[in-house]
Amino acid sequence: MFRMISAGCVLALSLLISTLSAQDKAVDNPAAAKLDRDVPRHKDFLKRVADSKGVGDVIFLGDSITNGWEGQKAWQEYFGAFKPVNLGIGGDQTGHVLWRITDGHEIDNLKPKAAVIMIGTNNGHSAPQVAGGIAAIVAELKRQKPDIKILVLGVFPRGGSGDAGKSLEQITEGVKPINEELKKDKPDLKALNAAVRKLGQQPGTIPAEKLSKKIAEINAIIAKLDDGKTVFYKDIGKEFLDQNGGLSGEIMPDYLHLSAKGYDIWGKAIKADLEKLTK
């Protein structure tokens, strides 16, 4: 009897220590601490899941960049077969996502085969802390859904609009119609003005050296979450950049959120991965 009680006590103590250890990590790392997200969109998620009776093979967890999939033609084109569930909320940090999948109960009634995570750009924490927050989300998903496959995406590139400028290629192409019009004996002033306006309205490009360095640091750490079995890491950031590594406003109009063209790039980049993960 004494041995049985001792074994039971040891097990209980072990579980307690494990729980306290997880709480300590959250305290040590603010990016791994839950942040209440009881907002209307969260409540809408709960209603959608209830109304659909938990339908959804793939869930997408993230912030406004994930939220932005709604209304995009590429959403159904690339992911329609997976009955996707968009769980993105604008402004979310890692702590918000942690709260939503725990205290917020967003995934309680879902049985997804796979999850796509793209989060971290809104965190004001250090790169190691943000990476720790992402790791905490992965760990919680695995705890709740032992059979789930998780695709962790590298945080997308971003930069400040003040660093954007016209690339040499853009300027070269933009002045062509202007030069062609000026070669004429009687240039059309309306055509000239239109060409000048078009050149001025072309979105600029942030050069590679001006893009956020912190994101590269975060991605270098979370890449190690890939275990080749249930967690897979993929960095598709380069798909959004030009041949010189610059970020064009054509892909991200505000150098953070994606245009329709950007979402098309994202969809193409991970469709095959999801097909494998949901088999």
58 and 115 co-located in one domain: yes
146 and 191 co-located in one domain: no
- Residue 142 included in any domain: yes
187 and 139 co-located in one domain: no
142 and 60 co-located in one domain: yes
115 and 46 co-located in one domain: yes
48 and 79 co-located in one domain: yes
Q: How confident is the model at residue 170 (pLDDT cuts 50, 70, 90)?
A: low
Average pLDDT over residues 116-138: 98
- Residue 19 included in any domain: no
- Residue 207 included in any domain: no
- Residue 140 included in any domain: yes
**Confidence (pLDDT) at 179:** 84
What are the φ/ψ torsions at residue 248 (nearest 5 degrees)? Answer: -90, 145
81 and 149 co-located in one domain: yes
pLDDT digits (tens, 9 = 90+) for 220-262: 999 999 999 999 999 999 999 999 999 999 999 999 999 999 9
Return the SS3 of 59.
Answer: strand
**Confidence (pLDDT) at 108:** 97
Q: Hey, what are 197's tokens?
A: 């306006």
- Residue 130 included in any domain: yes
For residue 207, pLDDT beyond 50: yes
109 and 191 co-located in one domain: no
pLDDT digits (tens, 9 = 90+) for 11-70: 444 444 444 444 445 569 999 999 999 999 999 999 999 999 999 999 999 999 999 999
Provide the domain limits for residue 182.
165-202
**Structural domains counted in the chain:** 2
For residue 139, pLDDT beyond 60: yes
Q: How confident is the model at residue 166 (pLDDT cuts 50, 70, 90)?
A: low
65 and 175 co-located in one domain: no
Cβ proximity of 121 and 158 under 8 Å: yes
231 and 124 co-located in one domain: yes
- Tell me the average pLDDT of the chain: 89
For residue 71, pLDDT beyond 60: yes
Q: How confident is the model at residue 167 (pLDDT cuts 50, 70, 90)?
A: low
* pTM exceeds 0.85 for this model: no
CA distance 80 to 43: 23
Q: Hey, what are 214's tokens?
A: 């912190």
- Percentage of residues of the chain with pLDDT beyond 90: 75
The CATH number of the domain holding residue 82 is 3.40.50.1110
CA distance 239 to 259: 14
CA distance 88 to 68: 8
- CB neighbourhood size of 128 (10 A): 13
- Residue 254 included in any domain: no
119 and 80 co-located in one domain: yes
- Residue 158 included in any domain: no
135 and 38 co-located in one domain: yes
- Residue 253 included in any domain: no
Average pLDDT over residues 4-16: 44
CA distance 269 to 78: 10
